Amino acid sequence: MTPAPAILFLHGRGESGTDGIKQTAIGLSHAIRMKAADWPFIVICPQKPEFDTLWPAYIDRINQTLTFAEQNYKIDPHRRYITGLSQGGHGTFQLAASLDWQFAAAAPVCGWITDPEAAKRLTQIPLWAFHGDADPVIKVEESRNAVAAINAVGGNAKLTEFKGVTHNSWDDVYQKSGLAEWLLSHSLD
């Protein structure tokens, strides 16, 4: 069996809990249900239990989940990707270069950076950020600032802004942007 590419998907605040289901309700999981053929990946969707605790607090739990996935599925180590929305977009920016897995590309959606050192850690990872320019929850300036910070230290980040789109930019991202193809165009040597 040929190893498959894999995506780590980090959900937003509203999908937090311990039911093991809410994190699959919106975003990437929803897009896969709508058109599975567009997403030829093993997708790992951990669920963080606390609404207001951000993803970096769960780094050990995420690493355990990645280890479990690697031990139980045939995952291509050269084609691992990370994406997330809102709090998961923050988690993508903050954790893409800090987890046990090395990622070939990252795609934060309506995210932000809180640790200034995160930009420096992301210089070696192709990154495509997305944000609605009318987002009242996480202002588009957060993604603009993050991408600018990454590129200022030699990174390879780009930002797509959706005109007139509010916080739910993830439907456009995961269903219309061509993100899956872009991810697959990146591979680790």
**Has residue 160 been placed in a domain?**
no
State the average pLDDT over residues 29-35. 97
End-to-end CA distance of the chain: 21
CA atoms within 13 A on the CB side of 131: 26
DSSP symbols for 28-86: HHHHHHH-GGG--SEEE----S-TTS-GGGGHHHHHHHHHHHHHHS-EEEEEEEEEEET
Total structural domains in the chain?
1
**Has residue 110 been placed in a domain?**
yes
State the average pLDDT over residues 109-117. 94
- State residue 163's pLDDT score: 98
Q: Give residue-wise pLDDT tens across range 138-187.
A: 999 999 999 999 999 999 999 999 999 999 999 999 999 999 999 999 99
**Has residue 134 been placed in a domain?**
no
**Has residue 42 been placed in a domain?**
yes
State the average pLDDT over residues 49-61. 98
- State residue 152's pLDDT score: 97
Check pLDDT > 90 for residue 66.
Answer: yes
Q: In sequence order, which residues have a C-beta less than 8 Å from that of residue 92 and are 6 or more positions away?
A: 10, 82, 83, 84, 106, 107, 108, 109, 111
Task: Give the confidence band of 2 by pLDDT, cuts at 50, 70, 90.
Answer: very high
Q: Which domain holds residue 57?
A: 4-116+168-184
- Write down the pTM of the prediction: 0.98
What proportion of the chain, given as a percentage, has pLDDT over 90?
Answer: 98
In whole angstroms, give the CA distance from residue 60 to residue 37. 32
**Has residue 58 been placed in a domain?**
yes
- State residue 43's pLDDT score: 98
Check pLDDT > 90 for residue 72.
Answer: yes
Check pLDDT > 90 for residue 189.
Answer: no
**Has residue 121 been placed in a domain?**
no
Task: Give the confidence band of 116 by pLDDT, cuts at 50, 70, 90.
Answer: confident
Radius of gyration of the chain (CA): 15
Residue 65: CB atoms within 10 Å = 17
CATH code for the domain of 34? 3.40.50.1820
**Has residue 92 been placed in a domain?**
yes
**Has residue 139 been placed in a domain?**
no
